Amino acid sequence: MATNKMKMGPLLHINKDINCLRNLVLAGTNYFVIIDNNLQHLSSFFEDFPQIRLTACEQGKTLETVEKIAETLLELGADRDAFIIGVGGGITTDIAGFTASIYKRGVKFAFVPTTLLSQTDASIGGKNGVNFHAFKNMLGTITQPEWIFICPQLLETLPQEDFKAGIAEVLKTFILFDKEMYRTSVGYFSSVAKEYAQRDDRKNTYGKIAVNQDMDLLCRIIGKCAEYKCGVVERDEFEKGERRMLNLGHTFAHAIEKLSEGKISHGYAVSIGMVIAARIAGSMGVAQEGFAESLARDLMMAGLPSSLEECPATAHLKVADLTDAIKKDKKVTGNSLHFILPKGLEDVEDIVIPIETLKKICNDLR
């Protein structure tokens, strides 16, 4: 079992064998498990403990759900020494982490992330929370889990679109920090997409193919990516500087998600958002030659969209439409915003740009 101790944060357990989870979750401990409804097949790992089931959907990522969980915890007799384990994708871990961080002024918690996105991103970093009114992740805390158990085997049952949403975030991390792993990952996910396209039985889910084509390599990709995120969080827990880099592609992604009224997944929006950001770097004359084009090609090979036109939910949108939505983003303060500008692999800059300048550049993008 590979472990990596963050100074302030969680123990990251990256493991190929799901059965190792049994060594972490020991009977006799005061565990309360919050588990995604779609993961009934994992219930047996937690049979000694009370389990609270959740339906993972953005509409249910609310204070009301947190209240219901707190009520159940009280009924179950969960005390100050309760230890909550969140099992599921980013929705479940965000809710479980938030509930734990405020229940009885905070109890210990840990995660078993079960989507590619949550194994490489959402479960790491201590950001927990729920949506409030029209705003995503508006209410929350930054509180670190005790440990995170990451196992690629858990992804076998993950549907195609959910898997691909995670690929976008993985490639984002490697664009920032590791061009070798970026190329390796593009190669791996492209060959998974190819194999999936060739199958006509489709009995094998996308997740099964992605996990079993080369489990060792997938484990290395996920592990590396999780470690990079851990490292950033360790150096900049409260997003004063370096952590902002992880927002690569996200300024436009959030606008795309908003204008498509939730009909496009976050990962697909990030994929398109990264290409737009690279095209902006190109039109500012600071990008490496052909970077936006090669990025778009790589993303497409990995099965991801690279432009608004490719997705039915966003085909009606123009890049210029997105800037108004960006203006309303909660992270935009005043007339300027932090924008993560990808000029090439491992060559990304955090700039402050007036929204009007961004708008003008976008108007000129075809």
Ligand X SMILES: NC(=O)c1ccc[n+]([C@@H]2O[C@H](COP(=O)([O-])OP(=O)(O)OC[C@H]3O[C@@H](n4cnc5c(N)ncnc54)[C@H](O)[C@@H]3O)[C@@H](O)[C@H]2O)c1
Site string for ligand X, 236-275 (x = CB under 6 A): ----------------------------------------
**Cα-Cα-Cα-Cα dihedral of 134, 136, 142, 143, to 10°?**
100
CB 95 → ligand X: shortest distance, Å? Answer: 9
CB 89 → ligand X: shortest distance, Å? Answer: 2
From CA 201, how far away is CA 196, in angstroms rounded? 10
**Residue of the chain from 6, 33, 154, 248 that contacts ligand X (CB under 6 A):** 154
- Full DSSP string of 286-317: -SPTTHHHHHHHHHHHTT---SGGGSTTTTT-
Structure tokens given for 168: 């976008």
3-state helix, strand, coil in the chain (%, to 5): 55, 20, 30
Give the rounded distance of the alpha carbon of 85 from its chain centre.
18
Residue 281, interface with ligand X (CB under 6 A)?
no
CB 229 → ligand X: shortest distance, Å? Answer: 9
Of 1-9, 118-126, 212-220, 280-288, which part binds ligand X (CB under 6 A)? Answer: 118-126
From CA 322, how far away is CA 308, in angstroms rounded? 11
From CA 362, how far away is CA 357, in angstroms rounded? 9
Residue 157, interface with ligand X (CB under 6 A)?
yes
**Which residue has the CB atom at the shortest distance from ligand X?**
90
From CA 269, how far away is CA 250, in angstroms rounded? 8
Residue 307, interface with ligand X (CB under 6 A)?
no
Q: How many residues bind ligand X (CB under 6 A)?
A: 28
SS3 215: helix
User: Under rule CB under 6 A, which residues in 53-112 are in contact with ligand X?
Assistant: 56, 58, 61, 88-92, 94
Binding residues vs ligand X (CB under 6 A):
36, 38-39, 56, 58, 61, 88-92, 94, 114-115, 117-118, 121-122, 125, 127, 136-137, 154-155, 157-158, 162, 165
